[in-house]
Every structure is written in C-alpha cells, then in structure tokens.
Amino acid sequence: MVSRNPGELPAWVEQGIAEAGIALRCRRCAGEDELVETAADADVVWFCGPNLCVTEAALRRLPRCRAVFRSGSGLDSIPLDAAKALGIAVHNTPESIAESVAEHAVALLLALVRQITVQDRRVREGRWADSEALQRWHLSRRCLGLVGYGQIARLVEKMLRGFDLRVLHHDPFSPQSTPLPDLLRQADCVSLHCPLTSETRRLIGAAELALMKPGALLVNTARGPVVDEEALVAALRAGRLGGAALDVLEQEPPAADNPLLALGNVVLSPHIAAFSADFERNFWQCSINKLKALCSTSSSRSG
C-alpha cells in the first residue's frame, strides 16, 4: 500500500489481509524513488486516492510487479499503456462505490428536473409566489441517455425504472449501443458514466452539445474533463441547455471565477458521489477481496 503509512488503515482491514496470508507493507510514497524503495520486491502495488507515485518510470523499475490495484473506480491517473507493455495488469473496484454514485446521479437529475436548489433559494429570499414558473420539466415517460453503460449506469437505469423512461445508452463495449449523436438528439436528459481516457476526454464538446434537444439536461458524475466546460458554459448561457448537474469539474476545486459558479441553472457538488454512510466498509471490504484474488493469481503463476 503506497498511499498509507503503517497504522493508517483500519485495523480490521489489516487483519483481513493478514488472515489471507498476504504480506502487507505500507508507506505513503510521495514520488517514484520512495515507491521503488518500498515495493521493489512486491507482486502487487496498491493505492487509493490521488496517484502520487505510480508512474511509467517507476513501473519500469519494479521487475517483480504483476499488478497495480487502485481502490475505487477511476484509472485515468495510471499509465495504462506502459503497464500493458510491461505485462502489468491494472485493477480497480468500481463495485465498491457503484450504488452510491448511482444514487447521487439520480439525486442530481431530480434536483435539476424539479429545480430543487433554485426553489430553495427563492423560498429563503421570500419569493414564494413566483416559484411556480420554474417548473419546466417533467421526468416521467421522457428519454434518458446514458453515456457509458457499466455498473453505475445500469444502477441508474434500475433506480429510475419507476419513471417509465425510454433509455438509450452509448458504450463501445455494448452490442446494443446507440451512436452518440443519435442518443444526444433524442435524450431529454443525458447522464455521463464513462471513464476518462484519451478517447473520452472532452467527449461532450460544442458540437455534441449543439446536437442535444433545446432545454435538455446534462448530469456528470464521471470525470470533469469528459465535458468541455467552456462549451458547456456557452450552451447554458445561450439557453440551448436547460441545466447541468455536476459532481466533477475540469479543475477541482474550481477557481473562484469559474463561470459555472454564477449560473443559476447549474447544480454542483464537490466530487462526493462515491461517499455515503456505507462507503468505508464497502470500499475496504472490496479492496480486501480484490487483493485476495490478485495475490492468489500471482501465487498460481509463480508456482
């Protein structure tokens, strides 16, 4: 574990790993040299949170490493091409946060549709009578577009089933995938759930936003750079889009002059979709399970 010092993991997590017969070494590594020093004889490099040390150069200096494991969902901070070239498998645990992120995406969508944050502000300002004009959308029996169709997107679809939505999804790994332009033209609400890769960086730009229905809504709980923020701001200001709900931004935290902060048709949360009362246990239990599987595989290969 290269993102925690000894004693910083919950005791029950260390116990579970030890009971599986896995030797665990912990050090909060700030750079490549510390990583190599710590993991020189390791079969698996494990980290969580921001990647401070797992670089291409570091991986080339770890001849015994067979896998890199990041607890959580995102893999965009890992040098994936270099790992593949070196025969190092890359793993994560999206299942540990899928339910929570899906719930948050649904909450953001409903907040947009029902104008919850705007209504709240108006009531606090004493503007009770003029709030009826804000109700411009109705979710039931509309079309929902899911960009990315992994565990989180499928849970969003399941959670919204009672609204009798027509659901389209775009995912290159799904045989039922709808072409992205077609999805954007038809969807009343678009929710983003794709990983951040070279192919998906700024996947939703000016051209894509122009394809969306006038007044359509955009939700992003994936990664900020999947959306071209400058183009999004322009579409929102022009009234092309009805609103956006964003848990992730291109720059986190946002600069004080980020124009999204001044737009009334934007709902923001601080990259917290994965967190819930059950987050810690789910997060670490899935990590233990993954480490058991990885170390078992590594032992089998060694044998």
Q: Which amino acid is at 208?
A: E
Distance CA 257, CA 239 (A): 21
Render the burial of 139-152: b for 16+ CB within 10 Å, e for the rest.
beebbbbbbbbbbb
Distance CA 228, CA 242 (A): 17
Distance CA 298, CA 303 (A): 9
Dihedrals φ, ψ of 288, to 5°? -60, -45
- The set of long-range contacts for 86-90, using a CB threshold of 8 Å and a minimum separation of 24, is 86/59, 86/60, 88/59, 89/294
Length of the chain: 303
Distance CA 9, CA 24 (A): 11
The set of catalytic residues is 223, 252, 271
Residue 135 three-state SS: coil
Distance CA 167, CA 186 (A): 10
